[in-house]
């Protein structure tokens, strides 16, 4: 007996002696026809045969078909990682994110961080004039916003216009180690141990505060937090919702996300790049005031470097790395100046 075919079923249906025949349907996996009578269609393509040696090892679930595609994917991931960690790409992306965060968010972030920090390190009476010198620096910089440029460059630093927008606060905290803290929004604190150990001159104290102001103005704490988990920070900011009835901008949402880690901002270290930028800002701040010799920055660092015999094992060195190299960089900066400029800066009244 020959098995029934679709043609015979069609004739039976046309004469009224049978049901309507079922047509073959397409198998969506391999493009092969399905035959209700159990026969295969020789015209349909066969399922691809893959040897075990050509099967992907790691990324088969991601849709990778063979080991060549898997190799290409691995190369792309490796090159992307090298570009991220060995080039300034991550810095550019972090800077772009930081530019969206308003200064008002920095002020709130710094207040929250200081509230957590003051529990461990309470504020004490300022017998060293930290608050006075700090306010004098800020007042001098604000008074010079009339267009004068004493930086010795063709244009003022990029942070110049942000000085007035911060809520500056200077003080002394009790701690058993030598260090200083710079928190977002303008909060600067120095430990009493540091002040007792180095006994800074007024110029060196101004250099120390100018250095910490540089960290604030260059937003180093925020940049460090954004770079530490850039993808997670951006994703949480894009999906952020606090149900307060106010539609936050992307930058405001990033500021809200950073608030969750405010308690750790005061005790995390800076990178060498951050330290060089803060030294440069301290130099520019002292020059702008026309009161303090900018060489006080190197003198202050030299005292800090000598606290432990120049071996870099102080708490300051753990959060402000590269002190010895930075001292040399500041000396090179002074040596590169024209002798007329060196003479002008040397006549500033306080060193």
Mind listing the pLDDT tens digit for each residue in 18-70?
666 565 555 545 455 555 545 554 555 555 555 555 665 555 655 666 767 77
Please list the alpha-helical segments (H only) found in the chain.
Answer: 6-14, 67-86, 89-99, 103-120, 130-143, 192-198, 202-217, 220-228, 230-238, 250-259, 272-289, 296-305, 315-319, 323-335, 339-346
Q: How many residues does the chain have?
A: 351
Contact 280, 260 (CB under 8 A): no
Place of tokens 């005292």: 303
- Can you give the pLDDT at residue 14? 62
Least Cα distance to 98 among 187, 220, 188, 215 occurs for 220
pLDDT at 158 exceeding the cut of 80? no
What is the rounded average pLDDT of the residues 112-130?
A: 90
Question: pLDDT tens digits for 245-296?
Answer: 666 676 777 777 676 666 666 667 788 888 999 999 999 999 988 889 999 9
Q: What is the pLDDT of residue 312?
A: 47
pLDDT higher than 60, residue 150: no
3-12, 175-184, 244-253, 323-332: range with lowest mean pLDDT: 3-12
Which DSSP string do the residues of 287-308 spell out, in sequence order?
HHHTSB-TTHHHHHHHHHHTTT
Distances (CA, A) of 299 to 102, 273, 326, 331: 35, 20, 11, 10
134 or 79, which is more confident: 134
Residues 15-54 as b or e (16 or more Cβ within 10 Å = b): eeeeeebeeeeeeeeeebeeeeeeeeeeebeeeeeeeeee
pTM of structure: 0.71
Look at 248 and 71; give whichever has higher pLDDT.
71
Residue 255 CA, chain-centre distance (Å), reads 12
Comparing 80-84, 197-201, 342-346, the range with the smallest average pLDDT is: 80-84
203-225 pLDDT, tens digit per residue, is: 999 999 999 999 999 988 888 88
């Amino acid at each position: 007996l020959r098995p029934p075919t679709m043609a015979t079923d069609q004739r039976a249906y046309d004469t009224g002696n049978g049901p309507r025949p079922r047509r073959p349907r397409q198998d969506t996996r391999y493009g092969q026809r399905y035959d209700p009578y159990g026969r295969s269609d020789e015209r349909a393509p066969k399922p691809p045969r893959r040897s075990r040696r050509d099967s992907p090892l790691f990324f088969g679930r991601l849709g990778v078909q063979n080991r060549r595609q898997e190799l290409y994917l691995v190369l792309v991931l490796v090159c992307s990682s090298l570009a991220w960690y060995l080039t300034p790409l991550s810095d550019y992306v972090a800077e772009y994110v930081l530019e969206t965060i308003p200064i008002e968010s920095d002020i709130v972030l710094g207040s929250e961080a200081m509230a957590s920090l003051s529990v461990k390190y309470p504020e004490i009476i300022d017998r060293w004039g930290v608050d006075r010198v700090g306010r004098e620096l800020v007042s001098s910089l604000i008074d010079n916003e009339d267009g004068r440029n004493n930086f010795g460059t063709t244009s003022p630093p990029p942070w110049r216009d942000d000085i007035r927008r911060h809520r500056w606060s200077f003080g002394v905290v009790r701690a058993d180690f030598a260090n200083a803290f710079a928190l977002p929004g303008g909060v600067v604190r120095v430990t009493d141990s540091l002040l007792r150990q180095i006994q800074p001159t007024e110029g060196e104290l101004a250099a120390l505060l100018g250095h910490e102001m540089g960290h604030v103005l260059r937003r180093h704490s925020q940049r460090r937090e954004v770079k530490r988990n850039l993808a997670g920070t951006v994703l949480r900011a894009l999906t952020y919702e606090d149900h307060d009835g106010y539609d936050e901008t992307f930058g405001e949402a990033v500021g809200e996300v950073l608030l969750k880690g405010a308690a750790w901002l005061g005790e995390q270290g800076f990178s060498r790049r951050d330290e060089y930028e803060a030294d440069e800002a301290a130099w520019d701040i002292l020059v702008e005031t026309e009161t303090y010799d900018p060489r006080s920055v190197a003198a202050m660092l030299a005292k800090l470097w000598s606290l432990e015999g120049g071996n870099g094992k102080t708490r300051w060195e753990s959060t402000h790395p590269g002190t010895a190299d930075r001292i040399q960089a500041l000396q090179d900066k002074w040596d590169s100046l024209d002798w007329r400029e060196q003479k002008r800066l040397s006549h500033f009244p306080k060193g």
